[in-house]
Amino acid sequence: MIQLSRFLMFFFIIVFWLLIGCKNSERVNAKVDESKAMGLSDAFADDFRMGVAVNGRLIDGVDSLGTSLLKREFNSITPENIMKWMYIHPEEDGFDFQISDKYVAMGQRDSSFIVGHTLVWHSQLADWVEEVSDSTEMVEVLRHHINTIMGRYKRRIQSWDVVNEALNEDGTLRESVFLKTIGPQYLDLAFRLASEVDPDAQLTYNDYNLTAADKRKGAISIVKNLKSKGIKIDVVGMQGHWSLKGPTLEEIEQSIVDYYNAGVKVAITELDITVLPNPWDLEGAEVSQNFEGDEKMNPFPQSLPDSVEQQLASRYKSIFQLFLKHREKIDRVTFWGIQDGASWLNGWPIRNRTNYPLLFDRNYSPKAAYHEVMGLKK
């Protein structure tokens, strides 16, 4: 009897340790499987880079879920705000590289394709730049700005948005402080300086609404002007701040083809698809009107209805089918935010709204749109 009891005890001990070993093996295998999980950049590796705009929380490393998502899904990064003039060059003789250094280090750590955004833009300027009125002085301001920033990150940042949003909607040049002081040739100057500082860097002109015919003509004019003078430009960045209804697929396709035929590749630089109404969609509405707190303008404060979720998924699928059709013309596709809660569209053009424009929800989980996009590569 004693021998039987000892045998049974020994038997149960062996079974117990075998079960523990199986559980540990399952955990190890789960971790291995998770590390090998295919992300967007893996799925589209033979087509174009898949990028994302990163904010300060990601750069500082305090958004751990976002960091995991970034490493798994994307192979290109763009800084959302931290390299804009008011942050990186706030004083005439003073630069602040603290956060941009972290950004570049993060990209190098993850072996990402790193984009610098943006060198010359009329918005988010430091106050002192707006006060420059002499053309010779402004030329030197641009020279100092571009030489210093690009020189610091030479061969570490692979692509630069050299000039951002220089066009009006009719395709003419926006009346910025650079146009007022230097004239149209400020674009020539910016791209020439950039190519001189880092000849190997990819140089981009970036703008929104570049699917509209008049503005498209304006962007093509910029490209042709630069090329006619032997000045390097590699890419037109089409900001993809689009909606469920527009622009049409035909407009997007025609724009991609036209830019490519002008001698540059296309980057979809700031992709997000709003599911909310905008002031300019309302008859008689003025963009300057204050719609904050208007329930009609914020119809989904808690969650997105399934029907709208499916519209968003279908829209993304159609757009990516088009991108794949023209894969040889496209350099990269960059989403403007890591997940819905980090999107700028929660605060623009109306503050305090709840938007759902990206592939990942506020819990960092993939949405139906993500699965539709990934399904194109299966």
Distance of CA 350 to the CA centre of its chain: 21
**Other CB atoms closer than 10 Å to residue 188's CB: what's the count?**
16
Strand partners, 284: none
Phi and psi of 87, rounded to 5°? -95, -40
Q: Kindly give the residue spans of alpha helices, DSSP state H, lying in the chain.
A: 2-35, 40-43, 56-60, 64-73, 85-88, 98-109, 127-130, 135-152, 177-181, 186-197, 213-228, 249-261, 306-325, 368-375
Phi and psi of 221, rounded to 5°? -65, -40
**Other CB atoms closer than 10 Å to residue 213's CB: what's the count?**
12
Check: CB of residue 275 under 8 Å from CB of residue 357: yes
3-state DSSP call for residue 287? coil
- What sign has the CA pseudo-torsion 176, 177, 183, 189? negative
- What sign has the CA pseudo-torsion 292, 294, 296, 301? positive
Cite the active site residues: 165, 270
Check: CB of residue 256 under 8 Å from CB of residue 286: no
Q: Which of 256, 212, 208 is nearest to 235 (CA)?
A: 256
CA distance 168 to 185: 17
